[in-house]
Amino acid sequence: MKYLLDTDHISFLQRRSNSEFIRLTLRMSQHSLSDFALSVISFHEQVIGAHSFINRAQTNTDIACGYTLLLETLNSFAKAPVLPFDAKAIAIFDEMRSQKVRVSTMDLRIAAIAISNNLVLLTRNTGDFSKIPRLITEDWTV
């Protein structure tokens, strides 16, 4: 593995449309699928998104769409290696917290997973992630 996909890059792949999707898949096609991994944190973020959609739904049709979204999330994550928030990542996360790195908790967890596995994080959110020492990021959607 060489790359960890942030939740935003995963979302582009799931939507399968727009110019970002085209640029991302073009770059990814130059690598082996085994070069890429996802994080359990991104899975968590997407489950939260589907859950929120279901909770806001006003009609059975909207509720069904929410459950379809949840199922699509499960299926897409089942097709790729999903990295855990393990002891190594926790140690890095705690170290960054003690250094008062100012990014969201979920982003800090994703960064800790990337750093602990020596992976480049593919993300559009380079502004926030640039605040994290030792983290290498690239945006393949530009």
Q: Report the helix count and the strand count for the chain, using DSSP H and E.
A: 7, 5
Cβ atoms of 54 and 63 within 8 Å: the answer is yes
Note whether 14 and 127 are within 8 A (CB). no
Burial classification of residue 100, based on how many CB atoms lie within 10 Å of its CB (0-12 exposed, 13-18 middle, 19 or more buried): exposed
The ranges assigned to domains in the chain are: 3-138
Correct CATH for 3-138 of 3.40.50.1010, 3.10.129.10, 3.50.50.60, 3.40.50.920? 3.40.50.1010
- Going from the C-alpha of 56 to that of each of 8, 24, 46, 66, 136, the distances in angstroms are 22, 31, 15, 9, 37
pTM: predicted TM-score of the whole model, two decimal places: 0.94
CA dist 132 and 96 (Å) reads 8
**Structural element, H or E, at residue 83:** strand 82-83
Give the model confidence (pLDDT) of 79-133 as tens digits. 999 999 999 999 999 999 999 999 999 999 999 999 999 999 999 999 999 999 9
List, for residues 5-50, the tens digit of each pLDDT value: 999 999 999 998 899 999 999 999 999 999 999 999 999 999 999 9
Amino acid identity for residue 64 in this structure: A
